[in-house]
Amino acid sequence: MIAEGRIALNGETIATPATLLTDVAGLTVDGRPVRPAKGTRLYRFHKPQRTLTAEFDPKGRPTIYEVLPKGLPRLMPVGRLDFMTEGLLLTNDGELKRQLELPKTGVVRSYRARAFGHVTQDQLEELAEGVTIDGIRYGSINANLERRTGRNCWIEMSLTEGKNREVRNVLAFLGLQVSRLIRTAYGPLDVYGMEPGDVDEVAQVELDAFRASLK
């Protein structure tokens, strides 16, 4: 593009790629100004049950984009939650989204699951060693029995991989039937104090601290 004379700075055609820029002010391509990259913004969104983490569903089911308030910048979900699962983080930055989703980044995802069936704390603690289900290896999971009422219980779980339907598959392996699943936190950010459908923007100081903590 430079060799073709398509790039200019303050009206003068750039002739060499060895041109150092501190910003894009005055830079044009084919006479059109280059817009600066939008700053990273991160949102907390409490995804309701019965919504898809998708732009469109051919079956006509509601998606998160139908629930999100109007006037927000274009948001991309960090990770996917299935139709019946609540809780979500969103960002407007594709690079940050990819970084947060990588298992090697080590971001802890926390969940609360309401399940029917019997399980002991000893069984849950064995998940810390990981488990293989139908040929799929799930890494270490920190799980605790929060409370039990009859055959129903609430279980808290923390993990860093986030494989597809990981929590549901692991609890089913233990003989439990999940009736409600909430992702309560992604790293230091959580959805406590938010109702399903609520959304707010993470303060810049919190976002900067979060990014600085990533591997």
3-state secondary structure of 100: helix
Task: Choose, from 30, 82, 198, 208, the residue flagged as catalytic.
Answer: 82
d(CA 54, CA 41): 20
Q: Are strands 42-45 and 88-91 parallel, antiparallel or unpaired?
A: antiparallel
Whether pTM exceeds 0.85: no
Amino acid making up residue 119: V
Residue 87 is predicted with a pLDDT of 94
d(CA 201, CA 38): 15
Q: What is the mean pLDDT of residues 101-116?
A: 92
Q: Is 134 a catalytic residue?
A: no
Closest C-alpha to 140, from 163, 115, 118:
163
The answer to whether 43 and 89 are in contact (CB under 8 A) is yes
User: SS3 sequence, 110-171?
Assistant: EEEEEEECCCCHHHHHHHHHCEEECCEEECCCEEEEEEEECCEEEEEEEECCCCCCHHHHHH
Q: How confident is the model at residue 161 (pLDDT cuts 50, 70, 90)?
A: confident
Q: How far apart, in Å, are the Cα atoms of 53 and each of 28, 86, 105, 191?
A: 37, 10, 22, 17
d(CA 8, CA 27): 6
Closest C-alpha to 65, from 55, 57, 76, 73:
55
Number of Cβ within 10 Å of residue 55's Cβ equals: 9
Q: Which residues contact 28 (CB under 8 A, 6 or more apart)?
A: 7, 8, 9, 34
Biggest CA-to-CA distance, the chain: 77
Closest C-alpha to 88, from 184, 16, 193, 159:
184
% of the chain beyond a pLDDT of 70: 100
Q: What is the mean pLDDT of residues 144-163?
A: 93
Q: H or E stretch including 67?
A: helix 64-67
Q: How confident is the model at residue 22 (pLDDT cuts 50, 70, 90)?
A: confident
Q: How confident is the model at residue 176 (pLDDT cuts 50, 70, 90)?
A: very high
Q: Which residues contact 7 (CB under 8 A, 6 or more apart)?
A: 1, 13, 14, 27, 28, 29
Domains of the chain: 1-36 (no CATH), 40-107+191-215 (3.30.70.580), 108-186 (3.30.70.1560)
